[in-house]
Amino acid sequence: MLYSEIADVFDRLEVTSSRLEMTSILSGFFKDLDPGSLRNVVYLSQGMLHPDFYGAELGMADKLVLRSVAFISGVSESRMDELWKKEGDPGKIAEYLLQNRKQVSLFSEPLTLGKVLRNLTLIENAEGRDSQDKKMKYLSNLLMDSSPVEARYLCRIVTGRMRIGAGSMTMLDALAEAFGTKEDRPDIERAFNITCDLGLVAEVLAGGGVEAVRKMKVTVGNPIKVMLAERLPSIPLILDRMDGRCAMEFKYDGIRVQAHISKDSVKLYSRRMEDLTSNFPDIAAELRKQCKAGTAIIEGECVAVDPEGGMLPFQNVTHRRKKHGMDKAIEDYPVRIFMFDILLADDEDMTVRPFEERRAKLEGIFDVSEKVQFTTMATVSAPEEGEAFFSLALGKKCEGIMAKSLSQESIYRAGSRGFLWIKYKKDYEEALTDSFDLTVVGAFYGRGKRAGKYGALLMAVFDEDSGHYCTVCKLGTGFDDAFLAGLPDMLDKYLSEGRPHMVDAEMMPDVWFLPTVVLEVVAAEISLSPIHTAARNIVKEDAGLGLRFPRFTGRVRDDKGPEECMTANEVLSMYEMQAQDKE
Ligand code: AMP
């Protein structure tokens, strides 16, 4: 298959912001692909060669890509510097220079998908002292045969800049449209939620239809999208919602880990599917030791503890997420895992079992030790019992409690947020609202002391219905000088020329970013806003919802991707909850 067909589709997707149109472009294209090619096209459209959790990155530095582009287009280094300052996107620069290329090599031949995949794999695997030269060589070899548009996407893929705006939800819509019906969409989504591998789901679907997708199972080695909790502002409301009786667990303030345990190995994944095994090797080994089953997938919270075993705040466990000096961090920051769920036990898919059965299974197949324990849990059927349990949790330095439904419907809902789990935190008592995990979509230059530097950020939530990011506040407080000084380093790689088309905003920042970085913010209140676009026209015509007096808490949520930040629907339900409170 020709790579130009794929690049053309990417190009068409990039200029539309309508999710419906994207879906129809993609489904039309997907229909005619063979299953194997489809799988690879799906990965490429997300800028990858493998599913997210695979962990390998093409990661070519911008400078290296620019050198390849300079080499094949014959421009000088100084001209390249000029273009780089102006464009900031190697893809655009490659496209521009190839359009103006005077001579195309006589030996040039059309690029095929096969050749693109081969060379990208070589780039990914290049190792050793001359790895940079090798990467340059493999990329130049592709660029030599590229049209301008093909070059644009190749350069974006190798530098990790591939954002055509078709997120995983749009891809699932397109797959359902191409190979099934609207009614099949939930089954296709479930297959994705339990495998985290869009390419695999696409291949199975194209090969065996929806029937084959329905048979896909939870498997060790494929992370499962995590189940998430809703929130309510008081214990009596939680009990009401749970029909008067529920389980309550301590809500630990650490890092969520999904452990995939097989006979002789254990892999730990974060909630963003990053491989955390090397950050918690002691926990991985201990889990294997204490597990009586051959295979299992469990979830728990890794929490840092002091020498007496007392729980320490979240910041302490983040030392275990460092890239370097892990050996020392393992010694200096002892960690325990508190297990709270089981998704696979031997070959049995536990996600379809109610909560109580899962908990019993978890307790049945693990022995506890100092490092591996179960979350503290109680069954609660009266508000006073709930309040007492909440105080107990706070006394143990936990964030609050997690209430879990005991109904027969309380299966593990991979990838969804619902009222089967309800969180209740200490902050809810003190302020009107919980903290918000928001994505940075823009920045404003500061004035006075902050002149010429980023002084405030434009923050957004994710709108699951449209797949867009909608603004909720301009954030200018809570930053210390060191954080402000580090902002360009953290954000500039996501600079976008103009407003990215997946961002809905009326406020105009000085610079725009592709939604990537997630920060934790607290606010005094959610209010109607004429300028912000979250939940626009829902509570009131021509108004959205915005945060009043937002303040950065100091916590960069690098465990969350932009699609896992707060959603517009969550802000809406918090707004409604707050309105009820005032009544
Ligand atoms: P939040 O990040 O505030 O939405 O809260 C949800 C997170 O709480 C989960 O993703 C877990 O990391 C964490 N957590 C802590 N204790 C528990 C527990 N007992 N059950 C489930 N999640 C927990």
Average pLDDT rounded to a whole number, residues 204-217: 97
- Residue 515 sits in the same domain as residue 443: yes
- Position 452 scores a pLDDT of 79
Same domain, 250 and 332: yes
What is the predicted pLDDT for the residue at 105? 64
| Nearest atom (ligand 1) to Cα of 249 | 19
Q: Are residues 419 and 443 in the same domain?
A: no
182 is catalytic: no
Who has greater pLDDT, 452 or 25? 25
Least Cα distance to 293 among 221, 364, 365 occurs for 365
pLDDT tens digit string along 310-351? 999 888 888 887 767 778 888 888 999 999 999 999 989 999
pLDDT at 313: 85
In short, whether 378's Cβ falls inside 6 Å of ligand 1 is no
Residue 51: pLDDT band (50, 70, 90) is very high
CA dist 233 and 235 (Å) reads 7
Q: Tens of pLDDT along 266-318?
A: 999 999 888 999 999 999 999 999 999 999 999 999 999 998 889 998 888 88
The phi and psi torsions of 66 (rounded to 5 degrees) equal -65, -35
d(CA 326, CA 390): 34
| Residue 476, pLDDT score | 92
pLDDT at residue 432 greater than cutoff 70: no
pLDDT at 583 over 80: no
**Which run of H or of E encompasses 191?**
helix 185-195
Q: Is the beta carbon of 423 within 6 A of some atom in ligand 1?
A: yes
What confidence tier does 109 reach under pLDDT thresholds 50, 70, 90?
confident
> Domain boundary residue among 159, 182, 213?
159
For residue 271, give the CATH number of its domain. Answer: 3.30.470.30
pLDDT top residue among 354 and 18: 354
Residue whose structure tokens are 């890239």: 323
251 CA distance to ligand 1 middle (Å): 6
- 264 within a domain of the structure (yes/no): yes
Mutate to test the pocket of ligand 1, among 256, 417, 560 (most ligand atoms within 8 A of CB): 256
- Asked whether residue 322 falls in the same domain as residue 275, the answer is yes
CA of 312 to the centre of ligand 1 (A): 16
In the reported structure, the alpha carbon of residue 524 is separated from the centroid of ligand 1 by a whole-number distance in angstroms of: 23
Mean pLDDT on 218-222 = 96
Asked if the structure places residue 27 within a domain, the reply is no
Contact 532, 429 (CB under 8 A): no
Token pair 């997690």: residue: 402
Decide which of 430, 446, 474 is a domain's last residue.
430
pLDDT over 90, % of the chain: 72
Give the pLDDT mean for 358-373.
97
DSSP string, 447-461: -GGGBTSEEEEEEEE
pLDDT at 449 over 80: no
Greater pLDDT, 481 or 155: 155
Split at pLDDT 50, 70, 90, the class of 245 is: very high
Question: What is the C-alpha to C-alpha distance for residues 51 and 169, in angstroms, rounded to an integer?
Answer: 15
237 burial type by CB count under 10 A (0-12 exposed, 13-18 middle, 19+ buried): middle
Residue 252 Cβ contacting ligand 1 at under 6 Å = yes
Q: Which protein residue's CA is at the shortest distance from atom 22 of ligand 1?
A: 251
Q: What is the DSSP string of 272-303?
A: T--B-TTT-HHHHHHHHHHB-SSSEEEEEEEE
Same domain? 140 vs 275: no
181 lies in some domain: no
- Average pLDDT, stretch 541-563? 90
Output the residue whose Cα is nearest ligand 1's atom 3: 423
User: Ligand 1, from 402, 421, 434, 573: best to mutate by most atoms within 8 Å of Cβ?
Assistant: 402
Atom of ligand 1 nearest to the CA of 256: 12
Which range marks the domain in which residue 71 is found? 47-159
341 C-alpha to center of ligand 1: Å? 11
**310/56: higher pLDDT:** 310
Least confident of 173-177, 280-284, 427-431: 427-431
pTM of the model: 0.81
Same domain, yes or no: 577 and 540: yes
Domain shared by 499 and 424, yes or no: no
Q: How many CB atoms lie within 10 A of CB 102?
A: 6
Q: How large a percentage of the chain has pLDDT more than 70?
A: 96
Q: Does the pLDDT value for residue 107 go beyond 80?
A: no
In this structure, the residue with its CA closest to atom 16 of ligand 1 is: 251
Between 43 and 323, the more confident residue is 43
Q: Does a structural domain hold residue 266?
A: yes
Whole-number pLDDT of residue 581: 56
- Looking at residue 343, its pLDDT comes to 98
Same domain, 233 and 354: yes
Asked if residue 538 has pLDDT above 80, the reply is yes
Taking CA atoms only, the protein residue closest to ligand 1 atom 18 is 251
pLDDT of residue 231: 86
Higher per-residue confidence, 561 vs 189: 189
CB-ligand 1 contact for 375 (6 Å cutoff): yes
Cβ of 340 closer than 6 Å to ligand 1, yes or no, is yes
Per DSSP, what are the bridge partners of residue 196?
none
Q: What is the CATH number of the domain that holds 495?
A: 2.40.50.140
- 58 has pLDDT over 90: no
Asked if the model's pLDDT at residue 453 lies above 80, the reply is yes
Residue 5 maps to a domain: no
Quick check: 155 pLDDT over 90? Answer: yes
Question: Final residue of a domain: which of 159, 187, 204?
Answer: 159
Q: Are residues 380 and 509 in the same domain?
A: no
Span of 85-89, 332-336, 563-567 with lowest mean pLDDT? 85-89
Q: Which of these ranges, 13-27, 347-361, 419-433, 518-532, has the smallest mean pLDDT?
A: 419-433
What separation in Å is there between the alpha carbon of 96 and the centre of ligand 1?
48
CATH number of the domain at 111, please. Answer: 1.10.3260.10
Residue 565 near residue 555 (C-beta atoms within 8 A):
no
Residue 567 beta carbon below 6 angstroms from any ligand 1 atom: no
- How far is ligand 1, taken at its centre, from the CA of residue 256, in Å? 7
Q: Which residue from 255, 303, 321, 340 has its CB within 8 A of the most atoms of ligand 1, so it is best to mutate?
A: 340
The average pLDDT across 384-393 equals 96
261 and 369 in a single domain? The answer is yes
Asked whether residue 418 falls in the same domain as residue 447, the answer is no
Ligand 1 centre distance from Cα of residue 313 (Å): 14
Buried b (16+ CB within 10 A) or exposed e, 524-559: eebeebeebbbbbeeeeeebbbbbeebbbeebbbeb
Quote the ligand 1 centre to 254 CA distance (angstroms). 8
Q: What is the mean pLDDT of residues 51-63?
A: 87
Closest among 109, 141, 124, 137 to 59, alpha carbons compared = 124
Point out the catalytic residue in the list 92, 135, 225, 251: 251
Average pLDDT across the chain, whole number: 92
Separation CA 156–CA 93 (nearest Å): 11
Among candidates 195, 200, 173, which has minimal Cα distance to 186?
A: 173
Question: How many folded domains does the chain comprise?
Answer: 3
Let me know if residue 167 belongs to a domain.
no
Q: In which residue are the tokens 């591939």 written? A: 162
The helix (run of H) or strand (run of E) holding residue 249 is strand 246-251
Closest atom of ligand 1 relative to the 423 alpha carbon: 5
| Identity of the amino acid at 478 | G
Within this chain, do residues 331 and 451 fall inside the same structural domain, yes or no? no
Nearest to 470 by CA among 554, 574, 565: 565
